[in-house]
Amino acid sequence: MEKLYLEGTKTMLLENNKELKLDYYLVEDQKGHEQNAMLYGIKIVQHMENNSESEYTDPISYSKDLVKEMVHKLWYYDVTLTSMLEIVDDMVSDCVL
């Protein structure tokens, strides 16, 4: 079963004076039928006016702390859906899981 944990929210004002709201989630997913084997990924939900879009990574690691730290970096640096997967891929390549 998948669980979402909201780790941060950011609102940005775009050039056309529209607001873009981003929600950054830690995703917890149970691996198979094993109760203690949790995998963690990242999801960003983008809201603008009455539209919502989201992007989700495949599970990244068994380490909740590692993935949570990644989510916080994405939030801190204002990462949007456009570049999320590429940046997460770079972050994963830079660390040992």
What are phi and psi for residue 11, nearest 5 degrees?
-115, 130
pLDDT of residue 2: 85
Please say if the pLDDT value at position 39 is more than 70.
yes
Please say if the pLDDT value at position 33 is more than 90.
no
Task: Note the pLDDT tens digit of each residue in 55-71.
Answer: 999 899 999 999 999 99
Q: Average pLDDT of 64-81?
A: 94
Residue 20 C-beta-side C-alpha neighbours within 13 Å: 15
Residue 38 C-beta-side C-alpha neighbours within 13 Å: 14
Domain ranges of the chain: 2-94
Contact at 8 Å (CB) between 97 and 61? yes
Task: Note the pLDDT tens digit of each residue in 2-15.
Answer: 899 999 999 999 88
Q: Which of 27, 37, 30, 32 is nearest to 84 (CA)?
A: 27
